[in-house]
Every structure is written in structure tokens, then in C-alpha cells.
């Protein structure tokens, strides 16, 4: 045990000022066959980039904040931040999360019980700036010092001794993008403090007051979705092309002629996919089409703006954008007159469309919504589709998307399906409601800019990759093809990057994909070999 | 004179405690309805689902099934938390070894104090005095061990020390002293009867003789009670909200007109956020129904 030596509360600022980069030798070690694995350091920004864009205390850049042109501009931004902070604590501006925020800000006893639960803190080799309480404590000090009455009285004694500057704020903003909002820390907290929520509120303050947010979430995310139709940039005309291709592909792969239904009024289900599937993993939407059609379910997709993309990145950083997208989703469903919304394999879309929107959507727009996982469970367990599990005779493990499990409590349906269709299914540890985030949560999966991809492969996804190796330790040799089932589009994005970075196909024969692909792979009515092992 | 000052101090402390706690609870209770932010496991789910952290959303057509909520599950979960600090035990055993005696000490002293008031008339009955003495000794001793242990840990452990303010240390030190004083007072029969007489006199207004040791103990205890609501040690009250009103607040919306009214009043608030994409000055309802303005970063 190390001894504390100096004024403790000053140390947080010291960690910020230290500009300590990730020491790759301190990352948690990986098991066989990765004992010899060597990580290169996370690259810094180039001089040109650094002259234009701010970076975090670890030299990593996610929010891509432009360097202000002058000291006056910096001072204006600091003043604006404080204005925003006041708004964050008012009911008019933050009715959406005021109660949970106040509870978490007021009552943390800083026992650090949450730290061990955090995959980024532990995966990084316990870098202090990644500790769940670190950024929360920074915000708390700023509130206590600059917002609460008497904040300047005995600041050292009370622990409010923080001096606010643009540099401090930049680091706070960047650190809010070093947490995947997986809420594992909140689950471990004896008091119920939610550091994930505080992180989201920091992002929100920067976005809603200063217009600062990770571009992949805002300009290229919600703004594009609301104006073009999808955060992928796919417009309705492009969507039709993609679907036409998907129909041809289904016919070629399975021998089944399927017409993907669009804008069918009064259908039982409006199926909402993450549009990332259409471009990156078309086999997922194809599998859905095959299952739902062969099971005789009345379903439709929407071709209307936003209606064909279940993504709602507002959930990760901005209440205004969240509300706009959520409202649009329900407007589309209501207009079509469908009986229910079925959310496809996308974790955050589950949470955005189901529980969180529950207290936002006006009565006149309300439509019932449910998870695709429970619908699939019904089809599989009640034998509404014919299955031959022997077609899936390879090792399979399940990655649990945090938003579906920890934030919604949907745990068993996906397991019941896998037990039925995958004879060599095994759990990773921990799993279910106690799972580890893939490391791509809260928008990280879609951020491919600057040095952030290197960080998320080495740091935020490290623990998940170790879990995968451990889950397959009995058959880790590359000759045995194995399947990581990740029923979430963003998780798959992170899996793609993780498996690629760690050369997992070459070293272990590990492939990732969704749940429906496994179901179709086992369907008797479909030609064998739906899962394409050459796709890696 | 000293007794009068002490009595006044205790009375003021209790008054401040009640006002402070009420203010703190109202601070949370009077906030607007918030968006759902469930966190699983949820304790009132039926046992079969609670075990794996499941929810009603695991059912097909979940809205068509009656919502089964287990009150026993909630009571059991809270009891485990309050009595055994289960989350700390599960996730932070080193802290739990100190935190458990700390909390049990406080519980025992609080219960002993409360029991003393109505029973003060019967203190001549020796077994009761003995029982109160034992409770006071046990409570004070556990508090002393727990608070001193926590203080030591928060000074010597770098990870805890980083996040422990000087005032936090003062608080723990004060509680350790209070534990020691309570042990000293409870170690003699006259100490217990003196404390009981003093507490009874709060209700009756009759004069009660106070020893120096008891006087110091009561003064320190009063100080603790008075500032407790203004510190994070009030988390015992906040915990009700964090669990019942946030983590476990999973009730799906129904035709509940009260909820509809609360939501409507929230949607009628005017938005003052000033980023480009927010339509400042409109209501939340209007902003949600609008499209964003052109994106831009306000950094020039």
C-alpha cells in the first residue's frame, strides 16, 4: 500500500497537469496465445493537428475541440461553461435528469468501490484519470467552488480547491469521452451513485451550451440522421438500393426469394434496425428478413427519414437531440399504424426507444415497443421455425450489450435461444447483468478519428478481449473456428476493430456476428452455410 | 448553567437536524419527473427474474401481462444493504471490515439513545440499565473501531486519500472521538443513568445533573447531529431515492393522468441552453418537435 504524501485534493489537478499518456506496458496482460503480444504506444497528434485541436490529459482526442484563437475566447468559453453548469442544476433546463444528477453529485462518499467495476480503469492498469470518480469529482469541485453559495470559503478544508481554466475544461470534456457509460460502476455503488450519468451530464453540458461534442455523435450523428435520414448518410433512395441488393443476396445465398416489405400500413411490427447494419453487416438485416418472413410474421421497414435508422446517439450526449430523434421514431410508427415497434440488434436503440422514451413520447404518439430478442425467443423455443442445431457445431460465446442487459434487464431470451441452437455455447465471465462493456459503448464504436481508435482497441476494449480469449480457452487454436455472438450493432463495430487489432482471426480463428445470423445458419429451410467464415 | 447550555445545544442540534434532513429530502423529492434510468437487477422483480437481473421486458408482449412486483424483494434488498452493507461486502471487502463496525456502532448508539427516553423512568431496574450499558459500550466501541479504521485507511491508502478532503478526516476523527466518549460514558452505571436523565429532561424540562464526561459526549454528539444533514453522510436518506426513484423506478407508463400532467408541465419548461442546435427560448415540447439548426462549434 502506497502512502499519501501531499495535499490530497490538489492531486487531482496534478494528474490532469501531468499529461500522462497510456503506458502500454501497464495494460492488463492477455492470456495464451497473447503472452508475447506487444502494443505500440498510442500515437500522439501531429504538430499540425495539435495546433488546431485540443486533446485530453492522456494525449488522446475524441471530442475534437478546436483550439480557441485567443485568451479572450478561452475566457468567454469558461464563462459560458459556468453558465451552462448553472443551467444543468435547474429544473427548467434539466428536468430530464435533475433528480439522479443531484443524488449522484451530493452523496458520493468516495469509497472507490466503483473503481474495481470499471473495465477502462482496470484495463488501463489503473490510470487515475480513468477512475470513475475522477471526472465526477472534478465536476463536483467546480460546482462546490463556483456555483454553490460560499464556495470560496475555506476551499482547501472543504476540498473545493480547484482553479477553473480553459485547460481544465478541455480535459474534463475529453475525459467525458473516456467512459463508455456502461454503468457497471453504478451497479457496484452501495449508495447508488451513477458516475456514468455524471459523465453523460458533462457531455450534455458541453453539447447543449458550448456546442462541443464528439463529431461522430453530433454533426455526423444526430444532425445527419435528422436531416438526411440516417447517421450513416444513407438516404431513402440509397436505402432502396441496399434492400434490392439484400434481396438478391438472400436469393443467391439461401435459394429463398424474399421481398423486403416497406411502409406496410397496419403491419404487426415496424422493425427498426441500426442503419449501420445495412452498410456494414447486411447479413444481419437479411437474416431478420428470412426469419420473419418464413415465420409468417407481419412486418415492415420504414422508408421515411429517421424511421429506417433506430440509432439515437442523443442518448449518449444531448437531451435535445435525443428527444428529437425519439419523437421522430414514434411519429413514423404511428403514421404507419403498426401495432408494435420491434427493435433490432442494437443495444442503445433498445434503451432509447423503450424505457427512456417511455416518459417522453406524448400519448397521441405512443406505440408499444419490444425487443427483437423476445420475439426471436418465441419463434425458436416454440418451434415456429425449424432448426438443426448441429449446423452450429462450433464454439459460441455471447457478448451482452450493456444497454440491453444492465439498463433493461433483458438477459435470458438470448441465452435461451443460444442453448437451443448452439450446442457448444459457453458463457464468458462475468456475463449477463454483470457483463463488461465491449469498449465501444456510448458512441466510441463509431469514432474512427485521429488517435481514438488506437485508444479504444488498447484500453477500453482490453478487458473484453481478454474475456473472449478466456471463454474460448479450451479451443483457442485458430483451426477451430469460433463465433462471438454480439447482438448489437455498435458492439459489433467494436468487435470488428478489436479482433482486427489483435489479429484474432489469424491467431485464434475468432469471428464475430449477430444472433440472427446464427439462427438462420441453423434453419432447416435455408441452404447450409449462411455464416460466411471467410468474412473476417 | 452548564446544564442549561447543554440542553439548549442538544435541542438546537435536534432542531437543525430535523430541518436539515427535511430540506435535503425535499431537495430530491420536489424535483420534476425524470426520464427512466433503470439499472438492473431490480429488487422488486419476482424472484425467478431477480436472480439473473431480469425485467418484465423479457416477456413477449410485456404490456399484456400483469405487472408483478415483489415488495418482499425490495424490503429484503434494502435490509441487506442497511444491516450488512451488502454491496460493499461484495465489491470492497477491505472497506467493509471497517465500514460495518462503523455503521453498526452508529445504529446501536442511535437505538440506545431512542430507547433511553421512554425507558428512563425505569432505570432503577438493574437488568435494563445493564442492557443499555452494554449497548452503549458496544455501540461506542464499534464506532470507535470503525471510524478510526476508516480514518486510518483514508490517510494511508493512496487511492482513498486522493479523494478525502481535510473536512472528511475531521468528520471521521470527530466520530471516533464520539465513539470513545460514548464508551467511556457507558462504562459506568452512573453514566448511563445520567445520559438517560438528560435525555428525559428534554421532554420534561426538569433539571438533570451532568458530569463533565457526559457533557462533552453530548456536546460532540450534538455537533455531529447538527451538521450531519449538510454532509454526504446523509446518504442514508439519499439512498431511498437512488434505489427506489432511479435504479428501481421501472414502472412503464400507463393511463396515469398524474404522470401525464407531470410530463406535460416538464415539456412546458422553456429551454435556456444556448448552443446553436438548441432553439433557445422555446419549450421542451417545441424543441423536441423541431429540427436542429446548422451545426457549429462556438469556439471563436
Give residue A8's pLDDT band: very low, low, confident or very high (50, 70, 90).
very low
Whole-number pLDDT of residue A404: 98
A1, A210, A366 member nearest B275 (Cβ): A210
Question: Under an 8 A CB cutoff, do A95 and B34 touch?
Answer: yes
Partner B contacted by A406 (CB < 8 A): yes
Residues of A in contact with B174 (CB under 8 A): none
Which residue on chain A is closest to B250 by alpha carbon? A355
8 Å CB contact between A299 and B256: no
CA dihedral sign, ordered A187, A193, A199, A204: positive
Which residue on chain A is closest to B30 by alpha carbon? A99
What average pLDDT does the structure give for chain B? 90
Residues of A in contact with B43 (CB under 8 A): none
Whole-number pLDDT of residue A209: 98
- CB < 8 Å & 24+ apart, contacts of A142-150: A142/A85, A143/A85, A143/A89, A143/A105, A146/A82, A146/A85, A147/A82, A147/A85, A147/A86, A147/A89
Backbone angles phi, psi at B156, to 5 degrees: -90, -25
Res A2 pLDDT > 50: no
Torsion of CA A119, A123, A127, A132, to 10 degrees: 0
Which residue on chain A is closest to B276 by alpha carbon? A211
Å between B104 CA and nearest CA of chain A = 16
Of A26, A112, A14, A120, nearest to A57 by C-alpha is A14
Res A527 pLDDT > 90: yes
Res A239 pLDDT > 90: yes
Give residue A5's pLDDT band: very low, low, confident or very high (50, 70, 90).
very low
Q: Where are the alpha helices (DSSP H) in A268-346?
A: 276-280, 282-294, 314-317, 319-336
Res B184 pLDDT > 50: yes
Residues of A in contact with B166 (CB under 8 A): 9, 156-159
Å between B249 CA and nearest CA of chain A = 10
3-state secondary structure at position A513: strand
Question: Under an 8 A CB cutoff, do A323 and B247 touch?
Answer: no
Residues of A in contact with B288 (CB under 8 A): 320, 323-324, 326-327, 360
Residues of B in contact with A405 (CB under 8 A): 40, 53
Give residue A437's pLDDT band: very low, low, confident or very high (50, 70, 90).
very high
8 Å CB contact between A387 and A380: yes
Which residue on chain B is closest to A117 by alpha carbon? B91
Judged by phi (left if over 0) then psi (alpha if -120 to 50, else beta), residue B21 lies in: alpha
Which residue on chain B is closest to A339 by alpha carbon? B61
8 Å CB contact between B153 and B95: yes
Chain B interface mutation, best of A12, A99, A194, A432, highest count of B Cβ atoms under 10 Å:
A99
Of A162, A176, A206, A142, nearest to A60 by C-alpha is A176
Res B299 pLDDT > 70: no
Give residue B199's pLDDT band: very low, low, confident or very high (50, 70, 90).
confident
Q: Where are the alpha helices (DSSP H) in chain B?
A: 2-29, 47-50, 71-84, 86-91, 93-119, 126-156, 158-161, 166-186, 189-204, 212-227, 235-240, 257-267, 284-288
Write out the DSSP string of A333-390.
HHHHT-SEEEE-S-HHHHHIIIIIGGGTS-GGG--EEEEHHHHHHHHHHTTSS-B-GG
Q: What is the pLDDT of residues A476-497, one digit of tens each?
A: 999 999 999 999 999 999 999 9
Question: Under an 8 A CB cutoff, do A408 and B60 touch?
Answer: no
Residues of A in contact with B157 (CB under 8 A): 1-2, 4
Whole-number pLDDT of residue B294: 47
Which residue on chain A is closest to B34 by alpha carbon? A96
Question: What is B2-55+67-247's CATH number?
Answer: 1.20.950.20
8 Å CB contact between A68 and B294: no
For residues A525-529, average pLDDT: 94
Give residue B254's pLDDT band: very low, low, confident or very high (50, 70, 90).
confident
A100, A188, A324 member nearest B246 (Cβ): A100
Question: Under an 8 A CB cutoff, do A378 and B60 touch?
Answer: yes
Q: What angle do CA A134, A137, A143 make, to 5 degrees?
A: 150
Question: Under an 8 A CB cutoff, do B57 and A157 touch?
Answer: no
Q: Give Cα separations from B212 to A12, B178, B215, B218, B221 (angstroms).
A: 43, 14, 5, 10, 14
Question: Under an 8 A CB cutoff, do A324 and B288 touch?
Answer: yes
Residues of A in contact with B153 (CB under 8 A): none
8 Å CB contact between A168 and A13: yes
Residues of B in contact with A138 (CB under 8 A): none
Partner B contacted by A69 (CB < 8 A): yes
A66, A109, A186 member nearest B235 (Cβ): A109
Backbone angles phi, psi at A163, to 5 degrees: -105, 120
What is the distance between the alpha carbons of residues A431 and A74, in angstroms, rounded to a whole number? 45
Whole-number pLDDT of residue B117: 75
Residue B146: alpha-carbon gap to chain centroid: 17
Share of chain B above pLDDT 70, in %: 95
8 Å CB contact between B41 and A433: yes
Give residue A371's pLDDT band: very low, low, confident or very high (50, 70, 90).
very high
A488 DSSP assignment: S
Å between B109 CA and nearest CA of chain A = 22
Res B202 pLDDT > 80: no
Of A335, A453, A354, nearest to A409 by C-alpha is A354
What is the distance between the alpha carbons of residues A510 and A536, in angstroms, rounded to a whole number? 8
Of B278, B42, B249, nearest to A359 by C-alpha is B249
Residues of A in contact with B271 (CB under 8 A): 92-93, 320
Partner B contacted by A194 (CB < 8 A): yes
Å between B54 CA and nearest CA of chain A = 4
Which residue on chain A is closest to B84 by alpha carbon? A190
Least confident of A20-24, A214-218, A273-277, B257-261: B257-261
* Domain ranges for chain B: 2-55+67-247, 258-288
B37, B166, B167 member nearest A100 (Cβ): B37
Number of neighbours of residue A278 by Cβ within 10 angstroms:
24
Which residue on chain A is closest to B93 by alpha carbon? A113
Q: What angle do CA A399, A133, A493 make, to 5 degrees?
A: 25
3-state secondary structure at position A534: coil
Give residue B300's pLDDT band: very low, low, confident or very high (50, 70, 90).
very low
Of A442, A429, A355, nearest to A177 by C-alpha is A442
Question: Under an 8 A CB cutoff, do A12 and B85 touch?
Answer: no
Q: What is the pLDDT of residues A108-161, one digit of tens each?
A: 999 999 999 999 999 999 999 999 999 999 999 999 999 998 888 888 877 788
Whole-number pLDDT of residue A87: 98
Give residue B204's pLDDT band: very low, low, confident or very high (50, 70, 90).
confident
Least confident of A283-287, B2-6, B157-161: B2-6
Partner B contacted by A153 (CB < 8 A): no
For residues A209-234, average pLDDT: 96
What average pLDDT does the structure give for chain A? 94
Higher pLDDT, B4 or A241: A241
Question: Under an 8 A CB cutoff, do A80 and B298 touch?
Answer: yes
Question: Under an 8 A CB cutoff, do B95 and A356 touch?
Answer: no
* Domain ranges for chain A: 8-212, 222-521
What is the distance between the alpha carbons of residues A39 and A44, in angstroms, rounded to a whole number? 15
8 Å CB contact between A314 and A349: no
Q: Which ipTM did the prediction report?
A: 0.94
Q: Give Cα separations from B126 to A369, A439, B116, B190, B192 (angstroms).
A: 66, 64, 14, 12, 11
Judged by phi (left if over 0) then psi (alpha if -120 to 50, else beta), residue A401 lies in: beta
Buried-exposed string A407-429: b where 16+ CB fall within 10 A, e elsewhere: bbbbbbbbbbbbebbbbbbbebe
8 Å CB contact between A433 and A410: no
Q: Which of residues 199-258 of A touch B (CB under 8 A)?
A: 207-212, 218-219, 222-223, 226-227
8 Å CB contact between A250 and A289: yes
Give residue B298's pLDDT band: very low, low, confident or very high (50, 70, 90).
very low
Q: What is the pLDDT of residues B50-108, one digit of tens each?
A: 999 999 999 999 999 988 889 999 999 999 999 999 999 999 999 999 999 999 999 99
Amino acid at each position: 500500500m502506497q502512502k499519501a504524501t501531499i495535499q490530497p485534493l490538489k492531486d487531482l489537478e496534478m494528474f490532469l497537469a501531468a499529461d500522462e499518456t497510456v503506458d502500454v506496458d501497464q495494460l492488463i496482460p492477455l492470456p495464451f496465445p497473447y503472452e508475447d503480444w506487444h502494443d505500440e504506444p498510442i500515437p500522439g497528434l501531429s504538430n499540425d493537428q495539435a495546433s488546431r485541436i485540443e486533446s485530453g490529459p492522456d494525449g488522446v482526442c475524441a471530442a475534437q475541440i478546436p483550439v480557441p484563437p485567443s485568451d479572450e475566447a478561452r475566457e468567454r468559453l469558461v464563462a459560458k461553461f459556468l453558465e451552462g453548469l448553472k443551467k444543468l442544476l435547474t429544473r427548467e433546463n434539466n428536468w430530464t435528469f435533475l433528480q439522479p444528477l443531484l443524488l449522484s453529485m451530493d452523496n458520493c462518499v468516495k469509497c472507490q468501490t466503483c473503481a474495481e467495476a470499471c473495465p477502462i480503469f482496470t484495463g488501463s492498469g489503473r490510470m487515475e484519470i480513468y477512475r470513475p470518480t475522477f471526472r465526477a469529482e472534478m465536476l463536483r469541485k467546480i460546482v462546490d467552488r463556483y456555483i454553490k453559495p460560499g464556495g470560496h470559503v475555506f476551499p482547501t478544508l472543504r476540498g473545493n480547491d480547484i482553479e477553473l481554466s480553459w485547460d481544465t475544461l478541455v480535459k474534463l470534456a475529453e475525459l467525458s469521452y473516456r467512459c463508455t457509460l456502461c454503468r457497471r460502476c453504478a451497479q457496484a455503488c452501495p449508495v447508488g451513485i451513477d458516475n456514468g450519468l455524471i459523465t453523460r451530464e458533462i457531455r450534455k453540458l458541453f453539447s447543449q451550451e458550448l456546442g462541443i461534442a464528439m463529431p461522430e455523435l453530433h454533426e455526423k450523428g444526430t444532425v445527419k440522421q435528422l436531416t438526411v435520414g440516417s447517421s450513416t448518410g444513407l438516404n431513402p433512395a440509397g436505402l432502396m438500393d441496399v434492400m434490392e441488393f439484400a434481396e438478391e443476396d438472400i436469393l443467391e445465398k439461401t435459394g429463398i426469394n424474399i421481398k423486403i416489405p416497406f411502409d406496410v400500413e397496419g403491419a404487426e411490427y415496424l422493425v427498426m434496425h441500426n442503419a449501420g447494419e445495412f452498410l456494414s453487416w447486411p447479413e444481419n438485416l437479411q437474416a431478420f428478413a428470412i426469419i420473419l418472413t418464413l415465420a409468417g410474421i407481419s412486418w415492415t421497414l420504414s422508408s421515411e427519414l429517421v424511421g429506417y435508422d433506430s440509432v439515437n446517439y442523443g442518448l449518449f450526449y444531448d437531451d435535445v437531440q435525443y428527444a428529437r430523434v425519439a419523437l421522430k421514431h414514434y411519429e413514423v410508427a404511428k403514421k404507419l399504424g403498426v401495432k408494435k415497434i420491434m427493435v433490432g440488434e442494437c443495444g442503445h436503440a433498445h434503451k432509447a426507444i423503450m424505457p427512456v422514451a417511455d416518459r417522453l413520447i406524448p400519448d397521441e404518439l405512443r406505440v408499444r415497443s419490444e425487443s427483437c430478442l423476445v420475439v426471436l425467443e418465441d419463434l425458436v423455443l416454440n418451434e415456429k421455425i425449424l432448426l438443426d442445431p448441429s449446423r452450429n457445431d462450433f464454439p459460441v460465446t455471447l457478448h451482452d450489450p450493456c444497454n440491453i442487459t444492465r439498463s433493461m434487464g433483458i438477459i435470458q431470451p438470448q441465452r435461451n435461444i443460444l442453448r437451443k441452437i448452439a450446442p457448444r455455447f459457453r458463457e464468458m465471465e462475468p456475463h449477463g447483468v454483470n457483463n463488461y462493456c465491449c469498449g465501444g459503448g456510448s458512441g466510441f464504436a463509431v469514432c474512427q478519428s485521429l488517435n481514438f481508435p488506437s485508444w479504444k482497441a488498447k484500453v477500453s476494449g482490453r478487458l473484453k478481449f481478454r474475456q473472449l480469449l478466456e471463454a474460448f480457452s479450451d479451443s483457442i487454436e485458430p483451426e477451430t473456428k469460433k463465433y462471438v455472438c454480439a447482438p448489437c450493432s455498435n458492439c459489433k463495430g467494436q468487435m470488428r476493430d478489436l479482433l482486427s487489432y489483435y489479429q484474432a482471426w489469424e491467431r485464434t480463428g475468432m469471428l464475430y456476428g449477430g444472433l440472427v445470423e446464427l439462427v438462420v445458419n441453423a434453419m432447416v429451410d435455408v441452404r447450409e452455410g449462411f455464416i460466411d467464415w471467410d468474412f473476417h | 448553567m452548564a446544564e442549561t447550555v447543554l440542553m439548549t445545544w442538544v435541542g438546537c442540534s435536534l432542531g437543525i437536524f430535523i430541518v436539515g434532513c427535511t430540506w435535503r429530502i425535499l431537495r430530491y423529492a420536489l424535483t420534476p419527473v425524470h426520464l427512466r434510468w433503470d439499472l438492473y437487477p431490480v429488487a422488486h422483480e419476482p424472484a425467478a427474474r431477480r436472480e439473473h437481473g431480469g425485467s418484465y421486458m423479457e416477456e413477449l408482449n410485456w404490456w399484456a401481462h400483469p405487472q408483478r412486483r415483489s415488495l418482499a424483494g425490495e424490503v429484503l434488498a434494502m435490509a441487506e444493504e442497511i444491516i450488512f452493507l451488502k454491496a460493499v461486502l461484495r465489491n470492497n471487502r477491505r472497506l467493509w471490515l471497517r465500514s460495518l463496525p462503523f455503521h453498526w456502532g452508529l445504529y446501536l448508539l442511535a437505538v440506545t439513545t431512542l430507547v433511553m427516553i421512554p425507558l428512563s423512568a425505569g432505570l432503577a431496574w438493574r437488568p435494563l440499565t445493564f442492557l443499555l450499558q452494554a449497548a452503549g459500550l458496544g455501540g461506542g466501541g464499534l464506532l470507535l473501531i470503525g471510524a478510526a479504521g476508516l480514518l486510518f485507511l483514508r490517510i494511508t491508502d493512496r487511492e482513498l486519500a486522493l479523494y478525502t478532503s481535510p473536512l472528511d478526516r475531521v468528520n471521521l476523527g470527530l466520530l471516533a472521538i464520539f465513539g470513545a466518549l460514548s464508551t467511556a460514558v457507558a462504562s459506568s452505571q452512573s453514566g448511563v443513568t445520567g445520559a438517560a436523565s438528560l435525555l428525559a429532561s428534554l421532554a420534561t424540562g426538569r433539571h438533570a445533573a451532568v458530569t463533565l464526561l457526559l457533557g462533552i459526549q453530548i456536546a460532540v454528539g450534538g455537533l455531529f447531529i447538527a451538521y450531519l444533514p449538510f454532509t454526504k453522510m446523509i446518504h442514508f436518506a439519499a439512498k431511498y431515492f437512488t434505489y427506489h426513484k432511479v435504479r428501481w423506478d421501472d414502472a412503464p407508463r400507463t393511463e396515469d393522468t398524474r404522470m401525464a400532467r407531470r410530463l406535460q408541465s416538464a415539456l412546458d419548461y422553456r429551454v435556456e441552453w444556448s448552443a446553436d442546435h438548441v432553439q433557445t427560448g422555446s419549450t421542451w415540447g417545441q424543441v423536441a418537435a423541431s429540427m436542429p439548426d446548422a451545426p457549429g462549434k462556438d469556439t471563436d
